[in-house]
């Protein structure tokens, strides 16, 4: 499908593009401009995470080997990736939300929300919808909250949380978004948590990335065999 050349418009920072007629590169370019408009300090924040995750040995330590000098990163945090590859583009978030039957008072939960991009889109275009974003990295949570405080989004919240903790359960919601936030074991644990939520209510799970979608298709019939999944190039919408 042909794509469109789109310039960033501060009057409509998170636009809905008809037919998802944009390339991934266009979506990332727009997101880079939107982050700048929001004044999100993503690159500086990611650098802080890298330094905190694996501090280097002192330069005078002659016992260090070449591969030890490389920063070793925690997979759960995915630090070290290029920012626009780490995050879901705003175009895509707006597109997938438009595909959902969102109703007043419902809740969307982002499992691994990073800088809460989805919270901005929901706050701006779905002000009657609640949004809860969980993020493991304290630095991202602080930066996300710093920016969100500048906007009147009373139903948007971001919480620091390691989703893999055995005693943690996500808040009951109508929609859950997963974008390969951690290890296969962590994602599997979250999918099992959502299965418990689905015992008492119908839920939609929007899975982005190959890992999350593969785990659902391979081991979660409650999501992919009751209702036909809706497949799109970069995400799949499942329903219990």
Degrees (nearest 5) of the Cα angle 182, 167, 139? 45
Mean pLDDT, residues 29-45 taken together: 96
Tens digits of per-residue pLDDT, 72-127?
445 566 666 678 888 999 999 999 999 999 999 999 999 999 999 999 999 999 99
Q: Which residues contact 225 (CB under 8 A, 6 or more apart)?
A: none
Give 2's pLDDT tier (boundaries 50, 70, 90): very low
Give the rounded percent of residues in the chain with a pLDDT score beyond 90: 80
Nearest CA to 121 among 38, 190, 42?
38
- pLDDT of 1 > 90? The answer is no
Domain that holds residue 91: 1-240
| Sheet bearing 235-239, strands edge to edge | 156-160, 130-135, 107-111, 175-179, 204-208, 235-239, 230-231
Residue 234: CB atoms within 10 A of its CB come to 17
Tens digits of per-residue pLDDT, 188-239?
999 999 999 999 999 999 999 999 999 999 999 999 999 999 999 999 999 9
Q: Could you tell me if 232 and 20 are in contact, meaning their C-beta atoms sit under 8 angstroms apart?
A: yes
CB-hemisphere CA count at 13 Å for 148? 26
The pLDDT score that the predictor gives to residue 80 is 61
CATH of residue 212's domain is 3.40.50.150
What's the burial of 41, exposed, middle or buried (CB within 10 Å: 0-12/13-18/19+)? middle
Computed over every residue of the chain, the mean pLDDT equals: 89
Give 5's pLDDT tier (boundaries 50, 70, 90): low
At what angle are helices 90-98 and 117-125 packed, to 10 degrees?
50
Beta-strand relationship, 130-135 and 156-160: parallel
Give 51's pLDDT tier (boundaries 50, 70, 90): confident
Nearest CA to 175 among 132, 128, 229, 127?
132
Mean pLDDT, residues 139-154 taken together: 97
Q: How many domains does the chain have?
A: 1
142 or 66, which is more confident?
A: 142
* pTM for this prediction: 0.88
The pLDDT score that the predictor gives to residue 83 is 84
Give 10's pLDDT tier (boundaries 50, 70, 90): very high
């Amino acid at each position: 499908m042909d794509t469109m050349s789109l310039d960033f418009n501060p009057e409509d920072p998170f636009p809905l593009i008809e037919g998802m007629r944009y390339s991934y590169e266009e979506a990332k370019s727009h997101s880079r401009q939107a982050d700048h408009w929001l004044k999100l300090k993503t690159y500086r924040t990611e650098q802080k995470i890298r330094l905190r995750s694996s501090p280097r040995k002192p330069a005078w330590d002659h016992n260090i080997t070449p591969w030890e000098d490389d920063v070793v990163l925690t997979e759960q945090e995915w630090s070290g990736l290029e920012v626009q590859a780490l995050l879901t583009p705003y175009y895509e978030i707006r597109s997938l939300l438009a595909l959902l039957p969102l109703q007043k008072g419902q809740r969307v939960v982002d499992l691994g929300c990073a800088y809460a991009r989805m919270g901005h889109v929901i706050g701006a275009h779905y002000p009657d919808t609640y949004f809860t974003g969980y993020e493991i990295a304290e630095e991202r949570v602080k930066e996300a909250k710093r920016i969100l405080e500048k906007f009147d989004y009373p139903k948007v919240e971001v919480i620091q949380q390691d989703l893999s903790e055995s005693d943690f359960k996500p808040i009951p919601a109508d929609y859950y978004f997963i974008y390969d936030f951690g290890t296969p074991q962590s994602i599997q644990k979250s999918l099992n948590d959502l299965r418990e939520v689905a015992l008492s209510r119908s839920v939609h799970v929007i899975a982005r990335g190959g890992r999350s979608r593969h785990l659902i298709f391979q081991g979660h019939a409650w999501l992919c065999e009751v209702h036909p999944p809706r497949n799109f190039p970069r995400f799949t919408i499942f329903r219990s």
